[in-house]
């Protein structure tokens, strides 16, 4: 009898193959960070399209050890690994956009704004490479991250397909174990590598175990403060989970009709 992980892996692989065929594409491209989510998506892509699954390693003032580990991981998973260092692009971009009035930004706002530029540059690189290879861009966000909007809009949130977008973080870990993702990655603290020492849970203020339990409806063991933080993040990031609204859509929601002047 098949395990849940085996059945789910086969189901996702069939879905990936079908979606790429429907689009008239040849394979998939993903950004490989060396973390759990991208490793699982990479493993699924390599199984779906042997020789036509490309992993882009896109350092941007990143730790060289993490970059080397991501390359090794991609090779071990059977992916076609391509590396582009975006550090100089990032420096030129930030210098070009710099304005004196930006100095008035709060330190936290300024750091987050600069950090969000990295995944947006990576998204541009992914689509550029995908276009040259007749491939679709695979996102690596999971259901837990999507529920609280923990991704950069039009950055790592920009993709054609979300192979694990329906899975909780704990389910991604179980799937990764079945797919042969190294134990060190399964146990590695999740991090978007936005700045040195940054971890997802440290930034969020709660754990993925807490978040998964909340989404799954197992909330009795969660403190009121944790529930409040999760609900607030879900509410404040609703715009990330939908296409940009237009006036006609807004009118329809409120029972009116939008007419051109």
- Domain spans of the chain? 4-242
pLDDT (mean) for 225-252: 89
* CATH level 2 (architecture), domain 4-242: 3-Layer(aba) Sandwich (3.40)
Q: pLDDT band for position 260 (50/70/90)? A: very low
| pLDDT band for position 195 (cuts 50, 70, 90) | low
Strand partners, 161: 138
CA gap 5, 188 in Å, rounded: 20
C-alpha closest to that of 174 among 8, 2, 18 = 8
pLDDT in tens, 23-56: 999 999 999 999 999 999 999 999 999 999 999 9
Residue 83 has pLDDT above 80, yes or no: yes
Write b or e for each residue in 106-124: b if 16 or more Cβ atoms lie within 10 A of its Cβ, otherwise e.
eeeeeeeebbbbbbbbbbb
Candidates 59, 80, 75, 65; CA nearest to 182 is 75
3-state helix, strand, coil in the chain (%, to 5): 55, 5, 35
Which whole number is the average pLDDT over 146-171? 96
The residue from 8, 10, 21, 37 that is catalytic is 37
* Average pLDDT of the chain to the nearest whole number: 91
At 105, the pLDDT band (50, 70, 90 cuts) reads low
Residue 256 confidence (pLDDT) above 50:
no
Has 145 been annotated as catalytic? yes
For residue 228, what are its two tokens?
A: 């409040």
Share of the chain above pLDDT 90, in %: 78
Reported as a pLDDT band with limits 50, 70 and 90, residue 206 is very high
Of 8, 63, 145, 246, the active-site residue reads 145
pTM of the model: 0.90
For the chain, what's the residue count? 261
| Average pLDDT, integer, range 150-175 | 97
Q: Kindly tell me if the per-residue pLDDT of 258 is higher than 60.
A: no
- The answer to whether residue 200 is catalytic is no
Whether residue 173 is predicted with pLDDT greater than 70 in this model: the reply is: yes
Please give the pLDDT value at position 106.
67
Q: Which residue has the tokens 């987050």?
A: 112
Cβ of 251: how many Cβ atoms within 10 Å?
Answer: 13
How far apart are alpha carbons 223 and 200 in whole angstroms?
19
pLDDT at residue 136 greater than cutoff 90: yes
Given a contact cutoff of 8 angstroms between Cβ atoms, the answer to whether 142 and 159 are in contact is: no
Strands in 27-31's sheet, in edge-to-edge order, are 80-83, 53-57, 27-31, 135-138
Beta strand spans in 9-147 (E): 27-31, 53-57, 80-83, 135-138
CB 150 within 8 A of CB 204: yes
């Amino acid at each position: 009898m098949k395990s849940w992980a085996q059945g789910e892996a086969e189901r996702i692989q069939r879905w990936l193959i079908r979606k790429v065929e429907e689009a008239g594409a040849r394979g998939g491209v993903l950004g490989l960070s060396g973390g759990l989510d991208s490793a699982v998506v990479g493993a699924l892509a390599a199984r779906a399209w042997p020789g036509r699954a490309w992993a882009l390693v896109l350092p941007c003032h990143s730790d060289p050890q993490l970059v080397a580990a991501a390359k090794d991981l991609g090779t071990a998973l059977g992916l076609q690994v391509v590396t582009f260092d975006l550090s100089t692009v990032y420096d030129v971009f930030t210098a070009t956009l710099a304005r004196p009035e930006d100095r008035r930004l709060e330190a936290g706002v300024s750091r987050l704004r600069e950090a969000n530029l990295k995944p947006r540059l990576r998204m541009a690189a992914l689509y550029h490479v995908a276009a040259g290879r007749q491939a679709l861009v695979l996102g690596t966000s999971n259901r837990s991250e999507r529920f609280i909007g923990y991704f950069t809009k039009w950055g790592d949130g920009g993709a054609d397909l979300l192979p694990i977008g329906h899975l909780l973080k704990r389910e991604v870990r179980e799937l990764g174990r079945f797919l042969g993702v190294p134990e060190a990655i399964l146990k590695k603290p999740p991090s978007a590598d936005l700045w040195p020492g940054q971890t997802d849970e440290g930034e969020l203020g709660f754990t993925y175990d807490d978040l998964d339990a909340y989404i799954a409806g197992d909330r009795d063991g969660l403190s009121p403060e944790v529930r409040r933080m999760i609900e607030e993040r879900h509410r404040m990031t609703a715009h990330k989970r939908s296409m940009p609204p237009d006036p006609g859509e807004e009118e329809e929601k409120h029972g009116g009709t939008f007419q051109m002047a």
